[in-house]
Amino acid sequence: MDRGYKIPEEELGNFMKGGAMNDQYGIQLFFNTDPKRAKELLPPPLVPADPVNPMGFAYIVNIRQPTFSPWYMEGGLGIMARLGDYEGVYFLGLMLSGPGALMGVFSGRETSGLAKKLCERILVERTGDVGRCLIRRDGVDLLDVKLKMGSYNLKSHRVEQEGCSREKPATTGGGCLNHVYHVEQGAFTNLRVNFYNSPTRYYSWDPAEAEVSLASSINDRWGELPVTNVIGAGWMVSDNWVISQEKIYEYTDEKELNQAMSLLLPGRYDRCTFLRDHQSYE
């Protein structure tokens, strides 16, 4: 029905109401990374959750039934970080493709401060006990994961969701450390960190050994996070949603704010937004 341009006022409260990323099909990946580099890539005052042997985290999924858009593909790369009493994933970047990607990017960036961009290709592929997942942007495979189901790279690794099923799903807590800010005439203001409280309900989980390759493009420097040891991956079907977003830190020192923004912006904007000499034709 054509209601014209205006959204009826009585519907405004429905914006992203009960937003959830349901029926996710794909992988979660765990690995260790270099302590010095992990610390350098985290905006202050965030620090690695494990300063001695920091953990990296990635996921690549087909979100088949989001509540706020058509289906879309999504993946991200992050570091397990800590701020005070709060621990969660700090995402260096997240990429989206597919019919619902634009709404996924805008809603995630504007309402939650997630470092989201659009990319040209995300692959989630499994045949029997082997799989492959990748994220491609600017012609570069930023993250390429080859998988073999059965066990983790690190045999002693365990997670809560092992053994879950459609009849007996497993729900785990989780969260992200997200940055929200305003842009006012070229200046960045009101920077804060929110704890994005986001549990996941798992309906299946297959442990997998993983071969991981990270690479950089001029716009997305994912290859700067080294993979020193692959812990393992899980091939899953899951739902993910947001309980709350709590402000846990506010930047009041200008020097600290600028240090943080220099690390935050590459996950949100391309190099062309800082240069005048740029063009690309195909």
Tally of structural domains, the chain: 1
Question: pLDDT digits over 111-161, tens only?
Answer: 999 999 999 999 999 999 999 999 999 999 999 999 999 999 999 999 999
pTM for the structure as a whole = 0.95
168 found inside a domain: yes
85 found inside a domain: yes
How far apart, in whole angstroms, are the C-alpha atoms of residue 224 and residue 198? 27
The three-class DSSP label of residue 2 is: coil
Domain boundaries, position 79: 20-269
CATH number of residue 104's parent domain: 2.40.400.10
Where is 247: in which H helix or E strand?
A: strand 244-250
10 found inside a domain: no
282 found inside a domain: no
CA distances from 203 to 75, 164, 175, 238, 254 (A): 19, 6, 19, 6, 46
Of 168, 194, 193, give the one whose Cα is nearest residue 257: 193
Question: pLDDT digits over 33-45, tens only?
Answer: 999 999 999 999 9
110 found inside a domain: yes
156 found inside a domain: yes
30 found inside a domain: yes
4 found inside a domain: no
CB contact at 8 A, 153 and 232:
yes
Where is 210: in which H helix or E strand?
A: strand 200-214
Res 73: pLDDT: 98
Place of tokens 């959204």: 7
